[in-house]
Amino acid sequence: MKPGSWASILAIFLFGAAGASTVSKLIPLGGDLARVFGASPAEFGWLVSLIAVPAALLAIPSGIVVDKYGPRVVLIACAVLGVLSNTIYMFADSMPVLQLARLLEGAAIVHIYTAAPALLMATTDGKKRTTAMTVWATYMPVGTAIGLTLGGLFADGESWRSTFMAQAALYAVTGCLGFLLPTISADAATGGQPLAQRLLGLREAYSRPPLLLLALGFFMMISMGLGANATFPSYFARIHDMPTLSASSMVAAATLAMIPGSLIAGVILSSGVRHQVLFSGLAAAGFILGSLSFFPDLEISLRFIIVCGWFIISGAAIATIMATLPIVAEPQRRGAAAALINQSGALATFVNPPIWLSLAAGNAWTPFSGLLALGWTVATACLWAIALYAAAPAAKTQTS
């Protein structure tokens, strides 16, 4: 493939979508794992969240791996690891073996999330790079939809392990495409920063209050988004007495609404609306739509419309937070700042599934509303605090 061509961009995007689908593919299989392995809702939640452990631990080392071997080689190796982990899933006879496969998958996707954008940025420039990164930013909702669809197709039956066969096939196809990707030097992808410089940059990022606030806001958004995604299929299947496949397919389709939500946020921010003002409006709408998504006495068609609205708002809110990152991160610290944001997302992925899935096992919907109120309030406060930090130097300059 020619560097910077659309074939190359879409092949790289497929790696991201394959990685994101590993997070959600287990969600429709909760009933099967309970039936076969006796997994409680809390145990199932921890299994889902285990994939975030390698992401939290390996965010910085993954950059060093890409430095040494180059992004193309790393992406191909991740595809092989994805095939291996899903093969283990297929033959697992106990929860510990499933947990091992989950950890291996986590190691694969954290390297994908480092190598893929590095390869995109190294092979594109100008407007093409901006477009490529915009396309890359949609890998999460697309991958989530793929994972929910794969899991939902085989849930609630003896063929539930076929989910992992399908995922392994996806990784195999992606890995084969990896051999066609352009080869670039490792330094061209990451700048060749030595380990000491990377660790110093990370320490400086952790000492910057605006970055910490942005990371906390991102943590809250991922917490609510992943929590809702993990909960919706089983919750909707129960309250509407519908098959898990139907519920998962409904959520998968609604998840794609995050894509136009992200684009709408970009247009609004480009018009000059301040980030914190836009986010405040999104928070109000997000709390209302998120709470209504869990309200039990709704017709299925109305619920689908409300859930689509929730995902549009979620996509716009995450895009707003990511658009704030270049504002609070100095050029020399942007790599470390991105690592900090990624680690906060990984922590949210680890912490939240057990909480939300345990609540979903009950009959009350109000606890979900409480979690949403907390998440949106804290995230909004973070955006306003960041704005105050940004305004302080300007006020000092005007005074002097």
Of residues 114 and 108, the one with the higher pLDDT is 108
Mean pLDDT along residues 107-128: 81
- The pTM score is 0.74
CA separation for the pair 228, 266 (Å, rounded): 24
Give me the DSSP letters along 339-365: HHHHHHHHHHHHHHHHHHHHHHTSS-S
Condensed to tens digits (0 to 9), the pLDDT of residues 342-395 reads: 678 778 877 887 788 778 777 778 889 999 999 999 999 999 999 888 776 555
Q: What percent of the chain shows pLDDT beyond 90?
A: 29
DSSP H helices, the chain, are 6-24, 30-37, 41-49, 52-69, 71-91, 95-123, 126-136, 139-154, 162-178, 186-190, 195-206, 209-239, 244-255, 258-270, 275-294, 300-328, 334-360, 366-399
Q: Kindly report the number of other CB atoms within 10 A of residue 15's CB atom.
A: 33
pLDDT band for position 77 (50/70/90)? very high
pLDDT value at 166 more than 50: yes
pLDDT value at 195 more than 70: no
Per-residue pLDDT, 332 = 53
DSSP 3-state assignment of 237? helix
For CA atoms 31, 36, 38, 42, the dihedral sign is negative
Average pLDDT, the chain: 83
pLDDT band for position 329 (50/70/90)? low
Mean pLDDT along residues 105-121: 84
pLDDT value at 400 more than 60: no
Condensed to tens digits (0 to 9), the pLDDT of residues 208-247 reads: 788 889 889 989 998 898 888 878 888 888 888 888 778 8
Per-residue pLDDT, 143 = 86
Of residues 122 and 32, the one with the higher pLDDT is 32
pLDDT value at 338 more than 90: no
CA separation for the pair 133, 352 (Å, rounded): 28
Please state the length of the chain: 400
CA separation for the pair 297, 258 (Å, rounded): 25
Per-residue pLDDT, 182 = 86
Per-residue pLDDT, 378 = 96
Mean pLDDT along residues 177-206: 66
pLDDT value at 76 more than 90: yes
**b/e per residue 27-45 (b: at least 16 CB within 10 A):** bbbbbbbeebbebebebbb
CA separation for the pair 324, 21 (Å, rounded): 26
pLDDT value at 178 more than 50: yes
Taking alpha carbons only, the member of 127, 171, 128, 146 closest to residue 6 is 128
pLDDT value at 314 more than 50: yes
pLDDT value at 335 more than 60: no
DSSP 3-state assignment of 285? helix
pLDDT value at 95 more than 60: yes
Query: In the Cβ-directed half-sphere of 400, how many Cα atoms lie within 13 Å?
Result: 6
